[in-house]
Amino acid sequence: MPPLRTLLALPLALALLALTPAATSLPVAPATDALLPLLVARGGAPAAALLSSGPSGVRYAQAGEGIARADHFRAGSVTKTFVATVVLQLAAERRLALSDTVERHLPGLVRGAGNDGRALTLRSLLTHTSGLYDFSADTRGTVPVTPLQAVRIALTHPPAGRGRFSYSNTNYVLLGLVVDRVTGRSYAAEAERRIIAPLGLTGTSFPGSRTSLPSPHGRDYAADGTDVTELDPRVAGAAGELVTTLADLDRFYTALLGGELLPPRRLREMLDTRAAHGAYGMGLFPERLPCGVTVWGHNGRISGSYVRTAATVDGRRVLTFRVNTDAIADPGLEPRLLAAEFCAGRP
């Protein structure tokens, strides 16, 4: 993870931070909110928004035009946290084991170019240590594919080094197929039954092949300015299909890290980064901030949308921010936002 032009940016920041009384009760905007306009001015985004939740309440801020608090948007790889949660719930129910081979659940599927599902475990998929090639490197996230097509694309390439952390969307496409095989229902149906409905995430869905976003929503733009609001989610599938809202993501990560969705042992496994040498747990990754706080969450990038959620390990404080384009042009802005949110008041 993936000079402040004060005289030019200050008038813009002051105008954009004129929040309504409903958005915040603080007399002065927090440092996080003051950085938000930079995602537009320096980050290349048409608009940006954030929602922070914690013991002090809920705070919303936005910058730019065409974005709103209640908007539905595509969450990309944040989908992986949902899929990993379902897999770990199934492990807690003893319907599968993380030490199971891929071959056990998907016999004969992962074979070719040196790849062998008999040598890969579900744990290696969850932690991105399988070495399987990322199919989206070939499709560039623009070509709709079925799960089997995605796997076949990956299997035309040799493994990238089994046992080493190598982020690959193919891992989570396979996990989606495992959930299908174990439960007899799609990963989307299982996530709806196990996570979305119990938590009341009314703005969250797995759209399948539906190209439109639910209302309300704004417009989404590729890096070159092309409107890509209409998108076939099969470009990502179980690795990045999710549609959601700021409030729903805050609620989900609060519940997950707060122990509402997994028993303690399984949550500890989810947060264990040893297999990925500190880079990734299972559907979550840590980021240590300059003040010493480590936050947990995931980012999501899909054509026209970038989102990041980060939370304290107990889930008591969580921040989700998004932009309505593919990426943030200035990569230094994201860690600055997280530090401003979670390090405030610390030495």
The answer to whether the CB of 87 falls within 8 A of the CB of 122 is yes
Cα 269 to Cα 236: distance, rounded to the nearest angstrom: 25
What string of DSSP letters covers 104-157?
A: HHSTTTSEETTEEGGG-BHHHHHTT-S----THHHHTT-S---HHHHHHHHTTS
Cα 81 to Cα 250: distance, rounded to the nearest angstrom: 13
Burial label, 61 (beta-carbon count in 10 A; 0-12, 13-18, 19+): buried
Which one is catalytic: 52, 77, 136, 168?
Answer: 77
Read off the tokens for 339. Answer: 């530090």
Cα 34 to Cα 63: distance, rounded to the nearest angstrom: 10
The answer to whether the CB of 104 falls within 8 A of the CB of 85 is no
Q: What share of the chain is helix, strand, coil (3-state, %, to 5)?
A: 35, 15, 45
Active site residue 77: yes
Q: Which residues partner with 49 through β-bridges?
A: 62, 322
Q: What are the residues whose beta carbons fall under 8 Å from the beta carbon of 50, sequence distance 6 or more?
A: 32, 33, 36, 60, 61, 62, 246, 319, 320, 321, 322, 337
Catalytic residues: 77
